[in-house]
Structure 1
């Protein structure tokens, strides 16, 4: 079953299509609200779209309206929209037929009042201060004499000319300018990028790394200086490792970068004066210090010269310093000859005492005595052997008489006794032979000692003995009269001579002392125990 609906013939309403009705509404709204000013709070702002347009909403405590800022208008705004900011938007209301919605197309945007901007600024300041970005401990001192100064500002304004002129007048240094926009959309990002770019310069980069940075801009309204209140700029200034001077606006203007910077300058010209000293003042100070240094050095030299002269006067003279060492030297030199004579006499006496105990007659007598002792011992040994033989013979006879019943045993015993007797005889001969050998060795050692101590061995080494006419040895030249007859004994004989004039009448030359020859150490192994020193 099917049915059809026929139009109501009694109705006189015009029939519209959806597109026609949407277009009619759009024209009506645009004609009625062609130019309006709307005050509200920005909501849902997420920044510009990839197309460059910005979409957000304006709301109050009861209503809400969508808003759009086209790309061309957005780039001309004096400040960027922010979430929660109360603004006054100027534009026209239009509809979007595709979704049956209406919106306001914003042509101009301004804060709802200075109080709103100041409230936003104060809120941002408290937030960044709570993070410690404005702490005084973070601020660094400016270098006294920088070699390179980096300036972040507009390259076309009067600010850069004032800075360069003031630096040239005070102390010409190398200035690197990073050109940025100081107002409008994107100016905050450019300033922050310039600060971070200067800090990223390394030693090997072609651009020199600045020793100090100046962020400068001329004066203006709060909206004109709003870029330097951006959070990205403040954080870049706080993170800068290069000391930074903020010179934004006039002396009465304040921005958040002034709190984050290491030093705030009242004007850009004042920033240039803070960055570099006055060269003329430095030259004058250097000249003053040089003059003071020369005067101080001159006075110090005079003072040291006077002190040196006083010390020289206090020092003793060379004769006074050498008087005591000279006296000790003279006394030592005078006592040297006497000491040498006394030492020679003492050594001679020691030698004579040793020589007196080593006369040939004494050694010969001791040898005869030892030979007699040896003969007596041999005789006693022979007698002892004879007595032993006789004793053994008697004992054998007694045993033979008492043991006739045991001839075999007796014969064996006799055989053993004969062997013992032969062994005793051999031992006696060996003992006698050893005793004679030790005696001969001791006698030979004593003879070598006698020969080593004989003065004739000294004559063989090139020395001579001088004797007077009575054949007495002469030991001093002073004891020899000129013209007296003397004899000189050499190793191979004697010659006669006549004494001549002494070469040194005042002091006789000391007699040559033959070098002391170390006596050979006797062979203690060859000396029998409990015998005399010669054996």
Structure 2
């Protein structure tokens, strides 16, 4: 074997491995420094998918890496953001994989008021860019709320001032959601209260407020800092109930002042914004009523004057309707004579038509129908007999050709008998229908026969030329007429004496004081 070379410089110490050296440096650093507080500016922030946060702290001359484990991130007083100056507390350790050292951060807080304000300005710019400060998103405060929700501390002067002010101004129900308004839990409790009021159902056992007041007394910027929380600001902005922010005094401004629907300088001013003054409303209502009555009176007087002026310009009733009434009278007089003339013309036309209407004219269509029925009857009988004869011939021929098929022939004979019976029944029904039609036509003819009523005691009056007399006005005095009865005709004179044959039998009548109308016979 070759002889081992001696270590340089004559050093006989055994060499360290890299892991051994890293472990030794890690123990030395952790034992020397342990927990330290550092102040610096965050220059780089990386949020890992595992939930850990990696960052770098720097000042003018140096920088150091830092890590915040997942379980610690939610407990930090402020969230790490690039450019934020903070004071951190943690344990110095090394990271052997990169031969670097780092600080494991356990707590983080802003480094002074300037850092807090810088962080607040950056958050304002972000929310303003999202439109959360837009005035168009603001909801109007109800004029006459029935329920007012107050989110504040249950102890202290703020809640007493709000309740006292509301009680003096407006009779309504006040719901108080108690919560802390200072410290680490303040922002979370206030946000939960806003969401709790918004979640109340309409018409539930607990009435839903018409307006919310988030109130707190004055204090330092650190005391009011929970109201600059981003999550609280987003909760207030998304609340469906109008929110009035009353945090601090008039000169204090927090983030929820920008996202709320109204900002009040003090909690007392918030109570005044949320409620009207009952006495002022009553006085205003009374004033409106008086003004309405005066306006209505003036309107009525104005309309009355305009109506009177318009009525004065209108013509009188006599001027409007006199000429039309005169035209109506003339038309009425003409209408009566026109109706009489119209009736007379139609009477003449009817008499001319009636003169042409004779029993022979009415009987002729009936005779024609009867002849057609008889012809159809004869044709139907002849056709049926021809069909039967043809069927008999066909049957005889089939019987001669098929002497062995007795059964089909018997069936055909049965069918033929059935068909013959059906044909005879159909013929009988046809004859019955035609006879019924003929009977109806005969009854119609009988009803239209002008000599029918004569057998029942009526008489028909004819002029000397044979024309039928329909109205008494057609007859003139001393006109000769003929009277037709059921058993014959007789002559008569209108308004005249008896015929020569009856004058000898007539007896003298006593004189009467009334005018003698004569006798028809």
Bin of the TM-score, shorter chain as denominator length: 0.5 to 0.7
Per-residue deviation at 1:111? 5.7
Per-residue deviation at 1:464? 2.7
Contact 2:212 2:242 in 1 (8 A): yes
Per-residue deviation at 1:219? 1.0
CA distance in 2, matches of 1:306, 1:458: 77
CA distance in 2, matches of 1:473, 1:137: 100
- Show the counterpart of 2:410: none
- Show the counterpart of 2:240: 241
| Coordinate RMSD, CA, aligned | 5.4
CA distance in 1, matches of 2:306, 2:63: 98
- Show the counterpart of 1:199: 198
Give a deviation string over 1:71-121, Cα, whole Å, max 9, x none: xxxx9xxx93554665679x9x999xxxxxxx9xx9x99864322222222
Aligned to 2:180, what secondary structure does the other structure show? coil
- Show the counterpart of 2:151: 152
CA distance in 1, matches of 2:128, 2:466: 126
Q: Does 1:330 align with 2:333?
A: yes
- Residues 163-182 of structure 1 aligned to structure 2 (within 5 Å): 163-182=162-181
- Cα distance, 1:286–1:204 mapped onto 2, change above 3 Å: closer
Aligned to 2:213, what secondary structure does the other structure show? strand
Highest Rg: 1 or 2?
1
- Show the counterpart of 1:464: 460
CA distance in 2, matches of 1:264, 1:163: 15
- Cα distance, 1:487–1:288 mapped onto 2, change above 3 Å: same
Contact 1:355 1:453 in 2 (8 A): no
- Give unmatched runs, 5+ long, in structure 1: 1-25, 46-55, 67-74, 96-102, 360-449, 506-535
CA distance in 2, matches of 1:29, 1:329: 131
CA distance in 2, matches of 1:284, 1:195: 35
- Give unmatched runs, 5+ long, in structure 2: 1-30, 46-54, 67-74, 93-102, 362-444, 497-510, 516-521
> Greater CA deviation, 179-188 or 130-139?
130-139
Per-residue deviation at 1:254? 0.8
CA distance in 2, matches of 1:271, 1:308: 54
- Show the counterpart of 1:289: 288
- Cα distance, 1:297–1:131 mapped onto 2, change above 3 Å: closer
- Show the counterpart of 2:226: 227
- Show the counterpart of 2:506: none
Contact 1:199 1:240 in 2 (8 A): yes
Contact 2:461 2:481 in 1 (8 A): no
- Cα distance, 1:133–1:498 mapped onto 2, change above 3 Å: closer
Aligned to 2:223, what secondary structure does the other structure show? coil
- Show the counterpart of 2:217: 218
Per-residue deviation at 1:465? 1.0
- Show the counterpart of 1:515: none
Give a deviation string over 1:175-205, Cα, whole Å, max 9, x none: 2111111101211110111111111112253
- Cα distance, 1:460–1:289 mapped onto 2, change above 3 Å: farther
- Show the counterpart of 2:269: 270
- Show the counterpart of 2:487: 492
- Cα distance, 1:471–1:198 mapped onto 2, change above 3 Å: closer
Q: Aligned residue pairs: how many?
A: 354
- Show the counterpart of 1:528: none
Give a deviation string over 1:313-349, Cα, whole Å, max 9, x none: 5574596455433432331112222222233234435
- Cα distance, 1:466–1:348 mapped onto 2, change above 3 Å: closer
When normalised by structure 2's length, the TM-score is 0.53
When normalised by structure 1's length, the TM-score is 0.52
- Cα distance, 1:64–1:124 mapped onto 2, change above 3 Å: same
Per-residue deviation at 1:258? 1.0
- Show the counterpart of 1:16: none
CA distance in 2, matches of 1:217, 1:111: 23
- Cα distance, 1:242–1:292 mapped onto 2, change above 3 Å: same
Contact 2:480 2:491 in 1 (8 A): no
- Show the counterpart of 2:368: none
- Cα distance, 1:186–1:58 mapped onto 2, change above 3 Å: farther
CA distance in 2, matches of 1:193, 1:329: 92
- Cα distance, 1:57–1:184 mapped onto 2, change above 3 Å: farther
CA distance in 1, matches of 2:182, 2:477: 132
Contact 2:149 2:209 in 1 (8 A): yes
- Show the counterpart of 2:18: none
